[in-house]
A and B are shown apart, each in its own frame.
Chain A
Amino acid sequence: MNNILETNNLCKTYLVNNRQYHILKNINLTVKEGEFISVMGPSGSGKSTLLYNISGMDKMTAGEVNFGGEKLSEMSENELSELRLNKMGFVFQQINLLKNLGIIDNIIISAYMAGHKNKDLIKDRALNLMKKTGIIDLADNEITQVSGGQLQRAAICRALINSPQILFGDEPTGALNSSAAEDVMQVFHDINQEGTTVLLVTHDVKIAAQSERILYMLDGNIEGEYIMDKYNYLEDDLKERESRLTKWLLNMGF
């Protein structure tokens, strides 16, 4: 399979009160098309920073990120926006929906902004995604009128509306209860099955155990990786995967 994303000695350093903080230290990472990856690690290990830097939301200090053969460091702000809009999807722990727009508007805004001419097609796709994620009845609701899990599913719909090549999740289930989290993960598996690459940042072993590759980060370095079979939520025993992963994590010092 082809590589969709590669980093080459990616570094990120913050300067606070004249002191340098090295958050990412020479990260070398390869993501293949269709992979389902989780990044784990303690708070402050650099997980989210890694995600922001490989998606072009944050500017790297040194090194390189390649996405689909293009170097992020050579792209302008506008080109980076276009890349995120058309080829990447994002789901955040804080959900980050636009509070002045209703549910359906939050979903279609990215597609409208991407300049797709056929608005009816967009609307159909949005309604399909909502049906798939089980929130079709909430289309006309305001975001203050629905639960956290429903909001996160709306956020996933938004992330998927432009059929991205890769979906990034920054603790996407962090603010949800366990049943809502399960629903959200099911959506991730479904889209992964359809070919979308998924890269999640998580604290949760139960979530990470559903990926096929788990990266463990500590102090800005990728300390190790753990490979499993692709998870099939209909057949596989999640408990067993969890215990294998836990053992490895304990070994890594998590």
Chain B
Amino acid sequence: MIYKILKKDFAKKKIINSAVFLFIMLSALLMAAGTNMLIELSNSLDYLFEEASAPHFVQYHSGSIDQNEIVQWSAENSLVEKQQIGEMINIEGANTYINSSESEKDTVMDMAFVKQNESFDFLLDLNNQKIELDKGEIAVPIYYMQKRNLSAGDQLIIKNERQELSFTIKNFVRDVQMNPSIISSKRFVVSESDFETLKNNFGELEYLISFQLNNIEQLNNFNNQYSSSNLPQKGPTIDIELLQLLNSLTDGLIAAVVILISILLNLIALLCLRFIIILTIEEDYKDIGVMKAVGIFQSDIKKIYLSKYIIIALTASLSGYLLSLLVNKVFSKNIMLYIGSAPKTFIQSILALISALLIALIVIGFSLIILRRLAKISAVEAMRMGSTVNTISNKSRFSLFKNNIIPTNIFLGIRDVLIRFKLYAILFFVFILSTFIIILPMNFLNTISSSEMVSYMGMVKSDIIMDLRQSDNIQERFKEIQNYLKNDPDVEKSNSYITSKFEIINADGYRENIYLETGDFSVFPIDYIAGSAPLLDNEIALSYLSAEEQSKNVGDTLELIIDEASRTMIVTGIYQDITNGGKTAKADIRPDYETAVWYNININVNKNIKDKVSEYENIFNEVKIYDIGDYFMQTFGTTIDQLRLLMFTAVIIALLVTVLITSLFLKTLIAKDRSQIAIKKSIGISEKDIKIEYLTKSLVILNTAIIIGTIISNTLGQKIVSTALSIIGAPRIEFVINPLEAYILSPLIMITAVTVTALLSIKSIKEFSISDINAE
């Protein structure tokens, strides 16, 4: 009997049952794919770090070094297991031609040329094998392979006025240190002999002083020991934790988003399910009464209904999982390319299946909860009344009799939504979700591409930024530029900032490195999330993550080591910073030129910015000069492109879901309201008026949902983004909203989609006739 009832039910509610199936399937698909991505990511990353024998600590250094001193220090340090000094030649983009007659002069990447390392930090090919090259061969970072669409055999030329070197691309580099596109240097590998040629003719040398430790737990300790030593420190340091974070950031975020979408789809599936279960019970009300009356156990009645949802949930989840096997390659493409694949254990390979089944379990549990309402049905009442008695208490409050203003068909639509709101809940939630899914990435994208983003990068806001590379005569050049700017009448104001490595005394009493930007912070003010700029020489501002790590608030004090003497600094402000791992500080003190890492000059001009940028570029070559807009496009270009893609995908998914649910809902609703519609037609209410009534219902719900969805995106959504970004140092993101897009364009798109869908879905009103109803 159960089989017969089920068969009838499937046939009768084909569309909405298919929709529930579809949503569960998609949800399971994304859940399995997302889980798989996370497994793949962590698994492959471990494998890559192992195969490449990743360094635990690297000090970049520009300038001369004493190799013996480093070797001796390492030998005496019990924490060090292996030590290695690598050389890196930085060659200007303007001198490099990658399979093209155009040079790479516009690149934001630092192009570093290296030879294969000897004992660890190996540069690997796409099969995770150590790259070995002969003279004239080169291995190019994956970043360029993708960007320039390169394949083995393509040419790379390095030339200046004196010399031209031509290389054949033999391989592509998988590099644990510089793989991710968010890292702004890339290592190219050449043979040993070519390296020597490059060293003698091109660019500047930078050293990578790398260490592997006996015990990775001692990393912080080692960091402190190194920075207290006299070893070379002119340049940034990185450690394995930062490498792991950077390597997993992009794909980790994508996996998180995929899982989030899966959860949202599951929510929609549950709402659909609730809608059909309630409708089914309402339709079968009398039958349920009869079954109860003849003595069938309630648990058996429940079984009839539940078995249907168990079948749907399990088949949909399994199909979702099977489909995920097909699409896994697409989702993990980036991971496979940049990080490579690794063998999987049995547990790892069934984890995705388990996650998909989890979706089925949630659905079944939810059905059980809704089916509890079967218990409330009284046999006698069900048989006598034949339908649930609607106890609507507030009907008279929305009486047509009292309405003098709103057109009747519109009034009836609004009224119905108000008094039967529970019925419309699913539509309402889906519309809110869709709005959220559209608006959130839109706002985020708009924020990240706005100049406001400067404040989240801990940078001052100016028209032009100059970025000087570390070199032997950097101080003279820096002075030279400052003097030039002083005499340039087009300059409104300018100021220079030097970031050096300083030491602070941390909470445990140990010395710890911090990147401290020095300069006058009143010239170009930055945004502080608490407090204000440091003005006196005993004042300091900390980045959010530094303040977190040191447990400091505005007004607290911090010991800073200046010229080997400790100075008590007062924390005057906390700002957001997502650069350099987010741990920086600012103070108006004398810079330490010995440990200076970056020299920046910020300029505001009263002339065309682009013109000034090219003017300065001609005068100060080898200085990187950006106008602020370009700077963002170049720094966040790939992220913005990815976000834009995500936004379009989100818009399309949201619209598809909206259209599908609207159509399903309205079709089901008018089937339910069939007799009422026929009555209206019989007394002469035109189809047009009835359609307007149903369209009004959809649009009233949609518009309310758009308002609520937008508010949620701007509040909760902003909080979610801030929470996610607090990990990298920007805990207080304020959305920069483009009102045209967010408040006009996207609602208009939704309204159009819903209106068209609604009109198409309620077409069958035409067929309803009173003669059919009265004949029933």
A binds B: yes
Does A82 touch B at the CB level, under 8 Å? Answer: yes
Residue in A52, A92, A96, A109 whose beta carbon sits within 8 Å of that of B408 in the complex? A109
When the two chains form their complex, are residues A113 and B774 in contact, meaning their CB atoms are under 8 A apart?
Answer: no
The CA-CA distance from A83 to B685 in the complex, in Å, is 10
**Within A91-128, which residues are at the interface with B (CB < 8 Å)?**
92-94, 96-102, 104-105, 108-110, 112-114, 119, 123
Known: A105-B400, A108-B401, A109-B400. A82 touches B684 (CB 8 A): yes
Nearest opposing residue in chain A for B408, CB measure: A112
When the two chains form their complex, are residues B416 and A100 in contact, meaning their CB atoms are under 8 A apart?
Answer: yes
The CA-CA distance from A100 to B394 in the complex, in Å, is 11
When the two chains form their complex, are residues B774 and A93 in contact, meaning their CB atoms are under 8 A apart?
Answer: yes
Does A77 touch B at the CB level, under 8 Å? Answer: yes
Nearest opposing residue in chain B for A122, CB measure: B401
User: Which B residues touch A110, using CB under 8 A?
Assistant: 683-685
When the two chains form their complex, are residues A81 and B687 in contact, meaning their CB atoms are under 8 A apart?
Answer: yes
The CA-CA distance from A140 to B401 in the complex, in Å, is 10
When the two chains form their complex, are residues A84 and B683 in contact, meaning their CB atoms are under 8 A apart?
Answer: yes
User: Which A residues touch B689, using CB under 8 A?
Assistant: 113
Does B676 touch A at the CB level, under 8 Å? Answer: yes
The CA-CA distance from A105 to B408 in the complex, in Å, is 11
Known: A96-B679, A105-B399. A77 touches B774 (CB 8 A): no
B418 to chain A, nearest CB (A): 11
The CA-CA distance from A84 to B686 in the complex, in Å, is 10
The CA-CA distance from A10 to B560 in the complex, in Å, is 104
Chain B 651-691 per-residue mask, 1 if CB under 8 angstroms from chain A, else 0: 00000000000000000000000011001111111111100
B695 to chain A, nearest CB (A): 16
When the two chains form their complex, are residues B774 and A81 in contact, meaning their CB atoms are under 8 A apart?
Answer: no
Chain A 38-56 per-residue mask, 1 if CB under 8 angstroms from chain B, else 0: 0000000000110010000
When the two chains form their complex, are residues A170 and B774 in contact, meaning their CB atoms are under 8 A apart?
Answer: yes
Interface centre among A49, A78, A113 (most CB of B within 10 A): A113
Does A227 touch B at the CB level, under 8 Å? Answer: no
User: Which A residues touch B487, using CB under 8 A?
Assistant: none
Does B278 touch A at the CB level, under 8 Å? Answer: no
Does B477 touch A at the CB level, under 8 Å? Answer: no
The CA-CA distance from A170 to B773 in the complex, in Å, is 13
Nearest opposing residue in chain A for B387, CB measure: A99
When the two chains form their complex, are residues A98 and B401 in contact, meaning their CB atoms are under 8 A apart?
Answer: no
Does B148 touch A at the CB level, under 8 Å? Answer: no
The CA-CA distance from A84 to B769 in the complex, in Å, is 14
The CA-CA distance from A58 to B775 in the complex, in Å, is 13
Does A142 touch B at the CB level, under 8 Å? Answer: yes
User: Which A residues touch B605, using CB under 8 A?
Assistant: none
User: Which A residues touch B682, using CB under 8 A?
Assistant: 57, 84, 90, 92, 96
The CA-CA distance from A77 to B767 in the complex, in Å, is 11
B431 to chain A, nearest CB (A): 23
B732 to chain A, nearest CB (A): 49
B285 to chain A, nearest CB (A): 15
When the two chains form their complex, are residues B771 and A48 in contact, meaning their CB atoms are under 8 A apart?
Answer: yes
The CA-CA distance from A140 to B679 in the complex, in Å, is 21
Residue in B400, B419, B766 whose beta carbon sits within 8 Å of that of A108 in the complex? B400
Does A88 touch B at the CB level, under 8 Å? Answer: yes
The CA-CA distance from A98 to B399 in the complex, in Å, is 13
Residue in B395, B679, B687 whose beta carbon sits within 8 Å of that of A102 in the complex? B395
Does B483 touch A at the CB level, under 8 Å? Answer: no
Does A85 touch B at the CB level, under 8 Å? Answer: yes
B772 to chain A, nearest CB (A): 10
Nearest opposing residue in chain B for A55, CB measure: B682
Nearest opposing residue in chain A for B400, CB measure: A105
When the two chains form their complex, are residues A85 and B396 in contact, meaning their CB atoms are under 8 A apart?
Answer: no
User: Which A residues touch B400, using CB under 8 A?
Assistant: 101, 104-105, 108-109, 112
Interface centre among B401, B420, B682, B688 (most CB of A within 10 A): B401
Does A144 touch B at the CB level, under 8 Å? Answer: yes
Known: A94-B774, A113-B409. A88 touches B401 (CB 8 A): no
When the two chains form their complex, are residues B399 and A100 in contact, meaning their CB atoms are under 8 A apart?
Answer: no
Residue in B389, B676, B685, B769 whose beta carbon sits within 8 Å of that of A144 in the complex? B389
Does B404 touch A at the CB level, under 8 Å? Answer: yes
Does A158 touch B at the CB level, under 8 Å? Answer: yes
The CA-CA distance from A187 to B685 in the complex, in Å, is 24
Residue in B395, B766, B771 whose beta carbon sits within 8 Å of that of A142 in the complex? B395
Chain A 134-146 per-residue mask, 1 if CB under 8 angstroms from chain B, else 0: 0000011010100
Does B178 touch A at the CB level, under 8 Å? Answer: no
Does B725 touch A at the CB level, under 8 Å? Answer: no
Does A86 touch B at the CB level, under 8 Å? Answer: yes
**Within B185-236, which residues are at the interface with A (CB < 8 Å)?**
none
Does B613 touch A at the CB level, under 8 Å? Answer: no
Residue in A88, A97, A102 whose beta carbon sits within 8 Å of that of B684 in the complex? A88
Known: A94-B774, A170-B774. A140 touches B396 (CB 8 A): yes
A6 to chain B, nearest CB (A): 21
The CA-CA distance from A98 to B404 in the complex, in Å, is 20
When the two chains form their complex, are residues B679 and A86 in contact, meaning their CB atoms are under 8 A apart?
Answer: no
Does B770 touch A at the CB level, under 8 Å? Answer: yes
User: Which B residues touch A142, using CB under 8 A?
Assistant: 392, 395-396
Nearest opposing residue in chain A for B687, CB measure: A77
Interface centre among A82, A112, A139 (most CB of B within 10 A): A112
Nearest opposing residue in chain B for A158, CB measure: B683
When the two chains form their complex, are residues A102 and B683 in contact, meaning their CB atoms are under 8 A apart?
Answer: no
Residue in A78, A93, A100 whose beta carbon sits within 8 Å of that of B686 in the complex? A78
B415 to chain A, nearest CB (A): 8
Residue in B399, B409, B419, B684 whose beta carbon sits within 8 Å of that of A104 in the complex? B399
The CA-CA distance from A57 to B489 in the complex, in Å, is 86
**Within A52-66, which residues are at the interface with B (CB < 8 Å)?**
52, 57-58
When the two chains form their complex, are residues B676 and A100 in contact, meaning their CB atoms are under 8 A apart?
Answer: yes
User: Which A residues touch B769, using CB under 8 A?
Assistant: 52, 57-58
User: Which A residues touch B409, using CB under 8 A?
Assistant: 113
B97 to chain A, nearest CB (A): 72
**Within A153-180, which residues are at the interface with B (CB < 8 Å)?**
158-159, 170
User: Which A residues touch B420, using CB under 8 A?
Assistant: 100
Interface centre among B420, B683, B771 (most CB of A within 10 A): B683
B521 to chain A, nearest CB (A): 66
A39 to chain B, nearest CB (A): 15
A24 to chain B, nearest CB (A): 12
When the two chains form their complex, are residues B683 and A90 in contact, meaning their CB atoms are under 8 A apart?
Answer: yes
Residue in A58, A94, A104, A170 whose beta carbon sits within 8 Å of that of B401 in the complex? A104
The CA-CA distance from A189 to B679 in the complex, in Å, is 25
Nearest opposing residue in chain A for B404, CB measure: A119
Nearest opposing residue in chain A for B680, CB measure: A98
When the two chains form their complex, are residues A98 and B684 in contact, meaning their CB atoms are under 8 A apart?
Answer: no
User: Which B residues touch A140, using CB under 8 A?
Assistant: 396, 399
User: Which B residues touch A93, using CB under 8 A?
Assistant: 774
When the two chains form their complex, are residues B684 and A86 in contact, meaning their CB atoms are under 8 A apart?
Answer: yes
The CA-CA distance from A139 to B770 in the complex, in Å, is 26
The CA-CA distance from A158 to B681 in the complex, in Å, is 14
User: Which A residues touch B395, using CB under 8 A?
Assistant: 100-102, 142
Known: A52-B770, A99-B676, A100-B395. A85 touches B401 (CB 8 A): no
User: Which A residues touch B681, using CB under 8 A?
Assistant: 57, 81
Chain B 743-776 per-residue mask, 1 if CB under 8 angstroms from chain A, else 0: 0000000000000000000000010011101100
Chain B 90-106 per-residue mask, 1 if CB under 8 angstroms from chain A, else 0: 00000000000000000
State the 8 A-B residue pairs at the shortest beta-carbon distance, nearest first.
A85-B684, A84-B684, A81-B686, A105-B400, A112-B408, A96-B679, A52-B771, A104-B401
Supply 26 A–B pairs (Cβ within 8 Å), ascending by A. A49-B771, A52-B770, A57-B681, A57-B770, A58-B769, A77-B686, A81-B686, A85-B683, A85-B686, A86-B684, A88-B684, A90-B683, A94-B773, A99-B676, A101-B395, A102-B396, A102-B399, A104-B400, A108-B400, A109-B412, A109-B683, A110-B684, A113-B685, A119-B404, A142-B396, A158-B683
Known: A81-B681, A114-B684. 13 other contacts (CB 8 A): A52-B770, A57-B769, A81-B687, A82-B686, A85-B686, A90-B682, A93-B774, A96-B770, A98-B679, A113-B409, A113-B685, A142-B395, A159-B683
Please give the residue numbers on chain B whose beta carbons come within 8 Å of chain A beta carbons, in ascending order: 389-390, 392, 395-396, 399-401, 404, 408-409, 412, 415-416, 419-420, 675-676, 679-689, 766, 769-771, 773-774
